[in-house]
Amino acid sequence: METGFQADDIAPIAILMDELRSEDVQLRLNAIHRVSTIALALGPDRARDELIPFLQESVDDEDEVLLALAEELGRNFEEYIGGPEYAHLLLGPLENLSAVEETLVRDKATDSITKIAAVLSQAQVEHYYIPLLKRLSQGEWFTSRTSSAALYASVYAKVGPNVQEELRKGFAALGSDDTPMVRRAAAKWLGPLVKNLSKQHVLSDGLPIYRRLQSDDQDSVRLLTVEDLIVIAQQLSPPEVKDQLLKQIRQTVSDKSWRVRYMAANHFNELAEAVGLELVREELIGHYVQLLKDNEAEVRTAGAGQIPGFAKLLDKEVILARIVPCVRDLSQDNSQHVRAALANQISGLAPLLGRDATIEHLLPLFLHLLKDEFPEVRLNIISKLEVVNSVIGIDLLAESLLPAIVELAEDKSWRVRQAIIEYIPLLAKQLGKPFFDEQLGNLCMAWLGDTVFSIREAATINLKKLTDVFGVEWSRVQIVPKVMGMGQHPNYLYRLTTIQAITAISPSLNLEIIRSDILPPILALAQDPIPNIRFNIAKALEVLATTFASTAEGREVARKQILPVLEQMKGDGDADVRYFATRAVQKTLGSVDGAGE
């Protein structure tokens, strides 16, 4: 193994080992993070004979040190002690770490043991790993038994039939443990183990463990069995699922604990795909409707997130008869989180229902959700309109959508107006230039004259985003002339908005547009009678000069056109104007001279 280290490059081993023994926690932590360097310096033989035994005794330490050690030993550490043939030596320290009190340390230790298992031979697994697993599984303290549950799946396929039988029995004992935390760990890791079992052993061993855990008196155990149910269903045929799991499916979706029902709703599509179409139509459609009507908002939220995925498994008539009525109810739900989840998914029904049914059943719900009082609901609807557009066409969508957008754009609450402004670039991208220019362009310009500063500010940012979406040539025709025209307005607030808008969008434009369309009117405003206008002009000129200083042409424009005006403004009668002009000159000179070198 090529180390890349020279003897002189590595700190003396004695110092590093002293750091590992130090009373200073930070020193020990630093040493642990360099433990691979220590092993490298010691060489494989000394690392095995001296370092590993030392680390095996180092379990009486701060949690952060133990966590770092557990992590380091799983980072291909076997390479530093002689290769995979010695990897089993790392199991000793990790076994000790797997039994400590801190959960994070135990989880990291079992994760590292699993990584080491991948490089062990069958002989190493049977001679070293399996005895470790038995010790942890039968440990006096629940912490070691909890950790052991994570270690079965990774080696099951590596051992012979007799050992596999012992593993199944050992895991079954964890599933019946007196301590809820152990049973919870068994529920968490049953699925990965079942994936390694033959169908015969899924039925004879996996199912009894699952059924025991699924009927546990602790809901923290039962909720983890939802994923086990899916894995077991994936291993069985649809008739076997119907025969062996139907009772458990019914119990899970109607569990007395909302947390279990939440997990069922959250994984419903995976379950539906695992059990087969026949059982979906006979049984699961009813359970799904039940979850969408659950008393707990969290369950309804999770169910709403599964709507299009589950609907793909159903006929159009069934969707209209069973799912759409639930969707209609959810759009009126008391919980904003339920409505937001629905708004994020409802558009996925459009391709399944087709044009006519979407227009009749979904479009009214889109418009209703678009007027929701909570911004997240409106955003989720707008962000997915492209899917609806592809089904019903832009003309009809625009005809239905535009009044709702205009209504929101003119809402008496400035926060609502601001929210719709933020969605405009997203709408523009989905609906295209023609629709935007015809229907929304004037609306965007009108916001620049809003009485509320926050709206005017949002409107200028909106113009930059639109320029990024549609390109500089579009902006030159549709935005720049209208913005520059406001610079001649008698009301100074309009002139100020022009400056702010140009400052915002200029980085997205090119030098030709700046020089021909923007710079002349902007330079003229340097003589404006309002000081507020003049010092904002200084700030705008600074942005223009520094933005284009990377090109020779841009530097020439800055030197010949912008700097003379800024130098003149340095003698302005207003202190603020002088300050910003001076700062702009310094920044401009720095950019121009620095870029030109």
Q: What is the pLDDT of residues 296-308, one digit of tens each?
A: 999 999 999 999 9
Average pLDDT over residues 10-14: 50
471-596: which CATH architecture? Alpha Horseshoe (1.25)
How far apart (Å, rounded) are the C-alpha atoms in residues 363 and 395? 13
Per the structure block, which two tokens stand in for 121? 């031979």
CA distances from 348 to 67, 280, 372, 390 (A): 44, 19, 19, 11
Per the structure block, which two tokens stand in for 509? 């434009």
pLDDT at position 271 is: 94
CA distances from 519 to 251, 492, 536 (A): 72, 19, 14
How far apart (Å, rounded) are the C-alpha atoms in residues 505 and 479? 10
Question: DSSP string covering 353-385, please?
Answer: HHHHHIIIIIHHHHHHHHT-SSHHHHHHHHHTH
Per the structure block, which two tokens stand in for 247? 């009772």
Q: Is the pLDDT of residue 596 over 80?
A: no
How far apart (Å, rounded) are the C-alpha atoms in residues 194 and 167? 12
Residue-wise pLDDT for 36-47, tens only, equals 888 888 889 988
Confidence at 9, pLDDT banded by 50, 70, 90: very low
pLDDT at position 196 is: 93
Average pLDDT over residues 153-177: 93
Q: Is the pLDDT of residue 474 over 60?
A: yes
Three-class secondary structure of residue 257 per DSSP: coil
Report yes or no: 497 and 537 within 8 Å, Cβ to Cβ. no
Sign of the alpha-carbon torsion through 215, 216, 217, 219: negative
Report yes or no: 336 and 344 within 8 Å, Cβ to Cβ. no
pLDDT at position 5 is: 41
Three-class secondary structure of residue 500 per DSSP: helix
Q: Is the pLDDT of residue 205 over 50?
A: yes
CA distances from 187 to 130, 174, 322 (A): 21, 9, 33
Report yes or no: 20 and 32 within 8 Å, Cβ to Cβ. yes
Residue-wise pLDDT for 32-89, tens only, equals 888 888 888 888 998 898 889 888 877 677 888 899 989 988 888 899 899 999 999 9
How far apart (Å, rounded) are the C-alpha atoms in residues 106 and 112? 10
Residue-wise pLDDT for 536-574, tens only, equals 999 988 888 888 887 888 888 888 888 899 899 988 888
pLDDT at position 349 is: 93
Question: DSSP string covering 471-482, please?
Answer: -HHHHHHHTHHH
How far apart (Å, rounded) are the C-alpha atoms in residues 596 and 233? 68
Average pLDDT over residues 183-193: 95
Tell me which amino acid residue 135 is: R
Report yes or no: 302 and 265 within 8 Å, Cβ to Cβ. yes
Q: Is the pLDDT of residue 408 over 90?
A: no
Cβ count within 10 A of residue 315? 11
- What is the average pLDDT value for the chain, to the nearest integer? 87
Please count the residues of the chain. Answer: 597
How far apart (Å, rounded) are the C-alpha atoms in residues 269 and 247? 19
Average pLDDT over residues 128-142: 92
- Using alpha carbons, select from 97, 25, 99 the residue that is nearest to residue 64: 25
Task: Tell which phi-psi region holds residue 393, choosing left (phi > 0), alpha (psi between -120 and 50) or beta.
Answer: left
Q: Do domains 9-120 and 471-596 have the same CATH topology?
A: yes
Residue-wise pLDDT for 323-344, tens only, equals 999 999 999 999 999 999 999 9
pLDDT at position 2 is: 42
Report yes or no: 168 and 187 within 8 Å, Cβ to Cβ. no
Q: Is the pLDDT of residue 7 over 70?
A: no
Confidence at 419, pLDDT banded by 50, 70, 90: confident
Confidence at 1, pLDDT banded by 50, 70, 90: very low
Q: Is the pLDDT of residue 11 over 70?
A: no
- Using alpha carbons, select from 299, 371, 291, 301 the residue that is nearest to residue 323: 291
Tell me which amino acid residue 260 is: V
**CA atoms within a 13 Å half-sphere pointing along the CA-CB vector of 380:** 24
Q: Is the pLDDT of residue 236 over 80?
A: yes
Q: How wide is the angle at C-alpha 431 spanned by C-alphas 427 and 432, nearest 5°?
A: 115
Tell me which amino acid residue 439 is: Q
Report yes or no: 313 and 280 within 8 Å, Cβ to Cβ. yes
Residue-wise pLDDT for 356-389, tens only, equals 999 899 989 988 898 888 878 887 887 777 788 7
pLDDT at position 20 is: 65
pLDDT at position 13 is: 55
Domain extent listing, the chain: 9-120, 471-596
pLDDT at position 133 is: 93
Identify the residue with better confidence: 335 or 414. Answer: 335
Fold of 9-120: Leucine-rich Repeat Variant (1.25.10)
pLDDT at position 435 is: 76
Confidence at 462, pLDDT banded by 50, 70, 90: confident
pLDDT at position 4 is: 40
Using only C-alpha atoms, the chain has a radius of gyration, in whole angstroms, of: 34
Three-class secondary structure of residue 281 per DSSP: helix
